[in-house]
Amino acid sequence: MIPYEVEYLRASSVEQALSVLALNPDAKILAGGHTLLPMMKLRLAKPGLLVDIGRLPELRGITVHEDSVSIGSATTHAELEASAALKRVAPLFSLAAGVIADPTVRNRGTIGGALVHADPSADWPAVALALCAEMEVVGKQGPRRIPADEFFVGFMSTAVEPDEVLTRIHVPLPTPGRVSYRKFRHPSSGYAVAAAAVAIDVGEDGHARGRIGVTGVTDTAFRAREGEALLEGNFTDLRGRVDAVVEAALAGVSPLEDNFADGEYRLQLGRVMLKRALLDVLEQRG
């Protein structure tokens, strides 16, 4: 389908973008466009004005601090995949970025756009949840940070207000020493039919604890807290708990259904992807 006519403004700064949003209730932020533009073609979104922030230098780049890593919201998937610094301190980003769609999408699409649109099959929400990320947004009241646990609030819905802009993603360091991202790709779109991000820390005493982020299975990415509770314990015994972790993680979930996958099939794919991610972690050296 062809998008309808729409006004376009390339913002020269975040401040200008915020001013335009405040004056235009039907305006929408545009970054890479690989989520918003398809929605517009399908008439699932009908903004009257697109405010392009994708080329703002203050929203690009990856900065490693002593206790955190900061990622600009307009940083592309390809930049995240290629970053040597991220591979060193937060390798889960590279793992996830490398299986997003195709090279064209990875070179244009942005992490901020994917997080804010919160497509139920997007990859980055699972990673953000597994790494305890915080999303920094700016609005007329100034900046605020939203923990990943509170950021995704429903189907393609986040805690970002209409007059706010996501500027940076912050991840505490050190990240867990053992991580994996497993995904069953839709053969056409490359979106996650089901995917799981696992991040596990193992202490010097062999005690393990970790987080699990799941995407693609339900209408919103979520932390599998029941499964996380079973992760905690002696790491050498984790292999014997894997099946129990998987079942607990997805117990009671109401799966999405579409023409590609009915609910039970999608739920089973979620189980398989999570189990594979857990087995990956077991094979790694912490």
Nearest to 50 by CA among 34, 27, 73: 27
pLDDT reported for residue 1: 61
Q: Domain 178-283 belongs to what topology? A: Enolase-like; domain 1 (3.30.390)
Q: What is the mean pLDDT of the segment spanning 258-264?
A: 96
**Nearest-angstrom CA–CA distance, 284 and 286:** 6
The answer to whether the CB of 17 falls within 8 A of the CB of 165 is yes
Is residue 283 over pLDDT 90? yes
SS3 state at 129: helix
Average pLDDT of the chain to the nearest whole number: 95
Q: Domain 7-52 belongs to what topology? A: 3.30.43
Is residue 236 over pLDDT 80? yes
pLDDT reported for residue 3: 66
Is residue 185 over pLDDT 70? yes
CATH architecture of 57-172: 2-Layer Sandwich (3.30)
Q: What is the mean pLDDT of the segment spanning 184-212?
A: 96
Q: Which tokens in the block code for residue 29?
A: 């932020």
Select the more confidently predicted residue: 235 or 5: 235
Lowest mean pLDDT among 125-129, 177-181, 211-215, 282-286: 282-286
Residue 45 pLDDT class (50, 70, 90 cuts): confident
Tokens 């009915």, residue located: 262
pLDDT reported for residue 51: 96
Is residue 255 over pLDDT 70? yes
What proportion of the chain, given as a percentage, has pLDDT over 70? 99
Q: Which tokens in the block code for residue 115?
A: 């997080």
Nearest to 269 by CA among 186, 188, 191, 184: 184
The answer to whether the CB of 130 falls within 8 A of the CB of 200 is no
Q: Could you tell me the residue ranges of all domains in the chain?
A: 7-52, 57-172, 178-283
Select the more confidently predicted residue: 128 or 286: 128
